[in-house]
Structure 1
Amino acid sequence: MIEMQDVSFGYHVGSELLTGMTLSLQPGMFHFLTGPSGSGKTTLLRLCYADLLPSSGQLKVFDQDVTELGRDEIAMLRRRVGVVHQDTQFLDHLPVAENVALPLSVAGQGVDIDAMRDLLGWVQLAAQARSYPPSLSGGERQRAALARAVILSPDVVLADEPTGNLDWEMSMRLMQLLIELNKSGKTVLVATHDLNLIRATKAQVSARVLRIAGGTLHLAGADL
């Protein structure tokens, strides 16, 4: 689904943040991405949904070389990738249900009321459907962000530090939703620095752990 071969990327000419990145995300896989702050985790995720293009190397998403795609083609490709950002980026003047439905509007699709009710029920936010984002707790915001990320039924779900500001109970509740997505056949990649969260999740699902160190990607050891 997402293939990187010797991919490098730098925000400034002559200065590369990531080098020689090789990655293969296949259908139904669960991956964690870890590494210190500033190591490039968010940058790698942005490459995965073609928000950034590599400085060198080959990046294919759904068997398409992203460097050969136009703007409209990349937009279509992104509909198959759901992203949970560090900043949930809600429109505060719209209620939760309408924020969750925004990807449908962008895609020119109507809202199925029953499907929306089921989705909000799945993330345990049915009672907050008409609430506004400023009234939500951190855990509620992250679950709403996950609902928005999967409303187009993407093949791949990318989550960037989704539990960074949550307590342990809320973190595990969100991870359980991601596990359920993976068990339904979705490919999941979660960027996190929380090794305890990784260990707890690995007890429930087969997951590989990738680590960015020194600007390159490594498979973490089995001790995690």
Structure 2
Amino acid sequence: MQTTGRESRVIDFQKVAYSYGGGELLSEVSLTLAPGSFHFLTGPSGSGKTTLIKLCYGELLATAGRVNVFDADVRSLSRDGVAAMRRRIGVVHQDCQFLDHLPLAENVALPLTVSGREASAADLADLLTWVGLKPLSAQRPPELSGGERQRAALARAVIMSPDVILADEPTGNVDWEMSQRLMQLLIELNRMGKTILIATHDLNLIRSTKSQVPARVLRIRNRRLQLAGSDL
């Protein structure tokens, strides 16, 4: 698998469909995410936002059509190829999973540890401070609130400075002030050239972010993906 970082399209869907349990969740989805682009993904609950996110990094495979990530067909990748692809993608899941026996700081640094890289104590402290978790760095995940876990998940997703960040409702359990701080982190990463895709139902968050960065808004409606109008 080629991983040069010079791809013209980091994620490309060509007439993608996904079915589960006999029902079609997504149909005829075509999507191109260029390097350095910023997209929001919105739609009603259950419309397929999480499914689309999972298709972007090979957690799910399309039942029709083609998904290319970093110019490679996801379906044709070997296990090593999938691992190499995922090292370049940071994912913030709705259901944040952590190792409960490790303190927060070690959980956030885990992607570096697994890849054999040492986490800079200063960089880790800065990241935890930015997401408002520095005072909790020694606590275990079961001691954290839902919002604190979500912030930790975002910190963990970006600690390796991936090329692409996929975030599924990253601000769903935090207040407005923290939502803005988290979005500032994502905006800064985008300005560094990172590709951002955020699934959210928060239209106010979308509007406030669009005033700072040229974000495009995608909407899932009736299993199809469409570009949202200027009303957003």
TM range (shorter): over 0.9
Distance 2:125 2:174 in 1: 25
Q: How many equivalent residue pairs?
A: 223
What TM-score do you get using the length of structure 2 for normalisation?
0.90
**Equivalent residue for 2:140?**
132
Equivalent pair of 1:17/1:39 in contact (CA under 8 Å): yes
Q: Report the secondary structure of 1:17's partner residue.
A: strand
Change (3 A) 1:114 1:169: closer
Distance, in Å, in 1 between the alignment partners of 2:172 and 2:152 is 15
Matches of 1:123 and 1:27, distance apart in 2: 25
The unaligned stretches of length 5 or more in structure 2 are: 1-9
Shift of 1:152: 1.7
Please give the alpha-carbon distance, in whole angstroms, between the structure 2 residues aligned to 1:128 and 1:184: 28
- Residues 39-63 of structure 1: CA distance to partner in whole angstroms, max 9, x if unpaired? 0000000000111111111111001
TM-score for the superposition, normalised by structure 1: 0.93
- Cα deviation code 1:91-112 (max 9, x no counterpart): 2221011101221233233333
Shift of 1:15: 2.7
1:5 is the counterpart of 2:25: no
The percent identity for this pair of structures is: 66
Aligned pair 1:182/2:190, yes or no?
yes
Matches within 5 A, 1:48-127: 48-127=56-135
CA distance in 2: counterparts of 1:181 and 1:138, whole angstroms:
24
- The equivalent residue for 1:43 is 51
| Per-residue CA distance 1:181-212 (angstroms, 9 max, x = gap) | 11121111110111111111111111100000
Residue 163 (structure 1) shift = 1.3
Runs of 4+ in 1 over 6 A off after TM superposition: none
Q: Secondary structure of the equivalent of 1:10?
A: strand
Q: Does 1:19 align with 2:27?
A: yes
Residues in 2 aligned to 1:163 and 1:122: alpha-carbon distance in whole angstroms: 15
- Opposite residue 7 of structure 1, the aligned amino acid is V
Unaligned runs of 5+ in 1: none
| Residues in 2 aligned to 1:190 and 1:11: alpha-carbon distance in whole angstroms | 23
Shift in alpha-carbon separation, 1:121–1:165, aligned structure 2, 3 A: closer
- Superposition RMSD on alpha carbons, in Å? 1.5
Are the counterparts in 1 of residues 150 and 173 from structure 2 also a CA contact under 8 Å? no
CA contact (8 A) 2:11 2:67 kept: yes
Letter of the aligned partner of 1:161 in structure 2? E
Aligned to 2:4: none
**Contact 2:48/2:220 (<8 A) preserved:** yes
1:208 aligns with 2:216: yes
